Structure 1
């Protein structure tokens, strides 16, 4: 009797979540948007709302839509055609900050405040040993960018003026990196923030780890996770509903069809492997609104969790690299062959 009651309560809770978020019909599915750019891979994704979204990818390409994906405008910087964008953070339809990857001066950060008509190169990396992977904004003014280890420690870049200028943080408060440890520039979500705190994830070394900072990236603590790590394996994406509830997904990008223990959830301070994992490499994850529902994507498909990342169920077999939900509950995904989509529930 007690078990039946608990099951009824759980089912009712999911029903309430679905109703309040507008989830009706037969479950989630992706509605593809025609970007007409089948040669571009969009690993950078920044949804603002159901109408406004930005994507960024290879060949210096940045697109923006203001009508829910019916039309896309190419708005990338003119001098970035040889570069790869891997992350973009947008505040609205006019203001965005985008990051390119690579050694030395290929790692750059561009900003726009007029919808992409004009871009400023706010940061150009001059250190041949640095390689920037991803970035996040704690609020509209304060942001951080993450480089793979330089001199044995991960490097943090910081801005306090909305991305217009950046400074390298001292590494005194950064724990030492493991041998071979680095971050994955897979979906713009190896560095994320929630509740004024910042978090980044790693792989490559003996264990996958999550670093956290509560003082704007000046000092960091680190904890190991149960997600397997290796030369091409580890955590590829983090998502936090709040500082005490997190998701981590990954696997081995060299073996995309098999990822045992490739997803974990955080409750309090402990990472636990999901009871039912996607079972395949996943490069992006996001919470849907403020409840326990979440999404994960990768080159072999998309999964949904209704219980805070404890159990995952596959609902799509298409390839995506990144997934994020906007403040209004709309969810977007992007990836290879110019694929961009918005989630539908009916």
Structure 2
């Protein structure tokens, strides 16, 4: 009898600790904004409102059926934006290429109140890729190397001023190593941590555990060696568990070495679903409230879903997008060529 009771208790313990798989069978896609733009950076506020930053100098807030838009010029030039981040009182947009210009847009909860230029960087190799905030005061943006390290700028005062970190305090890059400004998602934030995914001829993960003061870098098994190979997107569930996704932009069907997970904060990575669909994707996100079991990866070839932590995947739609950001456990916004759409995932 004692053996039976112990055996039953062990079964209960195992079953309670096994994470339940998540199942979505379809996705409802509803356009909420149509324009002749390339939109790679979005920041939802709730189920009805989403900020975006795009090319042709255009930024805006989609409020239900109402787009509130602005065109930002630097001198006579229209800037191209691929980075966006938000705090309670402001939205920040950062342009690619030379010059890189970062704007702080005041926000009162309903309308933009003012636009202020808070950082500018000029140089032939300047190219910023993504931006995130740890909290209301501290944020980070990442760009391609201009010297022998990735470009990293940090704010500690709510985005009013930004300082570029010295290469003396950052890992050295390898030849041909940079990052992809594909979906504003080659940075992941959790707690005081930030992880930065690189790509190109070398594809690695940089990590800071103290909001940018110190850094380390880790190798990955992701496909690399060419200009358009590597990690395009990174997301973390907590300080230990994360996922990276990418592939070869020039061979989007190639599905080997394009997705991996870590269980130790990025120190080591293990390939998942290797040689299986999906291939190239530009943005990956854990679905909120699913304990890391639900994952969505999107890109120009379509929308893919895993309900078991990335072991198995299925394609929910062939409609292509660049970026995805979740609002809750079934609703997200996605952006791509000429549009932003609301996505409702259904069981």
TM range, smaller chain: 0.7 to 0.9
Q: For the structure 1 residues 153 and 90, does the alpha-carbon distance in structure 2 shift closer, same or farther, using more than 3 Å as the test?
A: same
Q: CA deviation at 1:12?
A: 8.3
* Pair 1:212-2:207 in alignment: yes
Please report the RMSD computed on the Cα atoms of aligned residues, expressed in angstroms: 2.7
Question: Can you give the 5+ residue segments of structure 2 that lack an aligned partner in the other structure?
Answer: 1-7
Q: CA deviation at 1:185?
A: 0.6
**Could you tell me the TM-score, scaled by structure 1's length?**
0.86
2-structure distance, mates of 1:322, 1:144: 19
Q: For the structure 1 residues 187 and 6, does the alpha-carbon distance in structure 2 shift closer, same or farther, using more than 3 Å as the test?
A: farther
Q: What corresponds to 1:253 in structure 2? A: 249
For residues 67-98 of structure 1, give each alpha carbon's deviation from its aligned partner in whole angstroms, at most 9, with x where no partner exists.
Answer: 3xx33221343559611110111235x62111
| Conserved? CA contact 1:320–1:335, under 8 Å | yes
For residues 155-214 of structure 1, give each alpha carbon's deviation from its aligned partner in whole angstroms, at most 9, with x where no partner exists.
Answer: 210101221211111222211101100000100011221121011011112x31000001
| Conserved? CA contact 1:42–1:86, under 8 Å | yes
Partner of residue 27 from structure 1, selected from 11, 25, 31: 25
Q: Any idea what SS the aligned residue of 2:315 has? A: strand
Within 5 Å, which residues of 2 pair with 1:148-297? 148-205=144-201, 207-229=202-224, 230-268=226-264, 269-275=267-273, 277-290=276-289, 291-292=291-292, 293-297=294-298
2-structure distance, mates of 1:278, 1:195: 32
Partner of residue 44 from structure 2, selected from 39, 42, 47: 47
* Pair 1:57-2:54 in alignment: yes
* Pair 1:128-2:124 in alignment: yes
1-structure distance, mates of 2:69, 2:181: 22
2-structure distance, mates of 1:64, 1:299: 24
Q: For the structure 1 residues 123 and 238, does the alpha-carbon distance in structure 2 shift closer, same or farther, using more than 3 Å as the test?
A: same
* Pair 1:100-2:95 in alignment: yes
Q: What corresponds to 1:21 in structure 2? A: none
Q: Any idea what SS the aligned residue of 1:309 has? A: coil
Q: Any idea what SS the aligned residue of 2:94 has? A: strand
Q: What corresponds to 2:5 in structure 1? A: none
Q: CA deviation at 1:246?
A: 0.7
1-structure distance, mates of 2:306, 2:140: 29
1-structure distance, mates of 2:19, 2:223: 35
Q: For the structure 1 residues 28 and 73, does the alpha-carbon distance in structure 2 shift closer, same or farther, using more than 3 Å as the test?
A: farther
Q: What corresponds to 1:317 in structure 2? A: 318
Q: CA deviation at 1:150?
A: 2.2
| Conserved? CA contact 1:226–1:271, under 8 Å | yes
